[in-house]
């Protein structure tokens, strides 16, 4: 076994990425404090051809040194938009036909293990602030929330880890 060089990976150029068919998923970042987390989400969004990343509230936007450090250029390939208010962003997405689903621990949440995206639908996942999570008024607008099952002592995962799990899971489920 030999480790492949980057030149052997046959990755898309930024122009080809922008032209390619996207995964029908928008990622909404609700007041994320860490620009490093934002950069990590961009990098994962690039890896799975995500439609767009929406940055809301205090969430840092490109160009930003810490985003650039973890995104490794993905903020150049992935479409992104800044919105001042997460609630307005969710309403906009819903009016455009997206099924908006916060990733949060709530009463009657849907376990990620049981979540089955429906073919032909567009989705938007909302990831919340590292301390406070997704805003309650955003949760109130949505019909369901997805929860990642956890079995240890901690109450939550890092937002970039959660995004990676959800994006990969969604991608796998819609491709199978």
Domain of residue 98, CATH code: 3.40.1280.10
Instruction: In whole angstroms, give the CA distance from residue 25 to residue 17.
Output: 15
Range of the domain at 52: 13-175
What distance in Å separates the CA atoms of residue 51 and residue 100, rounded to the nearest whole number?
14
Residue 24, C-beta contacts closer than 8 angstroms, at least 6 positions apart? 51, 121, 122, 123, 174
Per-residue pLDDT, 176: 81
- Residue 6: inside a domain: no
Tell me the pLDDT of the chain averaged across its residues: 97
In a domain, 157, yes or no: yes
136, 86 Cβ separation under 8 angstroms: no
Assigned domain for 161 exists: yes
- Please give the backbone phi and psi of residue 110, each rounded to the nearest 5 degrees, phi first: -95, 125
Domain assignment present for residue 5? The answer is no
Closest CA to 116 of 176, 56, 156, 165: 176
Q: Tell me the pLDDT tens digit for each residue of 11-63.
A: 999 999 999 999 999 999 999 999 999 999 999 999 999 999 999 999 999 99
Count of domains observed in the chain: 1
Instruction: Name the pTM for this structure.
Output: 0.96
């Amino acid at each position: 076994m030999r480790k492949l060089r980057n030149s052997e990976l046959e990755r898309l150029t930024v122009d080809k990425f922008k032209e390619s068919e996207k995964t029908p998923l928008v990622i909404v970042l609700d007041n994320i404090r860490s620009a490093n987390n934002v950069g990590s989400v961009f990098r994962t969004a690039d890896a799975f051809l995500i439609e767009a990343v929406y940055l809301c509230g205090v969430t840092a936007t490109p160009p930003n040194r810490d985003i650039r450090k973890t995104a490794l250029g993905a903020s150049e390939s992935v479409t992104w938009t800044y919105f001042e208010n997460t609630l307005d962003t969710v309403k906009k997405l819903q009016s455009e036909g997206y099924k908006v689903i916060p990733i949060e621990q709530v009463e009657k949440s849907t376990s990620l293990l049981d979540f089955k995206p429906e073919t032909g639908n567009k989705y938007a996942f909302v990831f919340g602030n590292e301390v406070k999570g997704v805003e309650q008024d955003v949760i109130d607008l949505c019909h369901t929330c997805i929860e990642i099952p956890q079995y240890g002592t901690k109450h939550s995962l890092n937002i970039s880890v959660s995004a990676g799990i959800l994006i990969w899971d969604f991608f796998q489920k819609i491709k199978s």
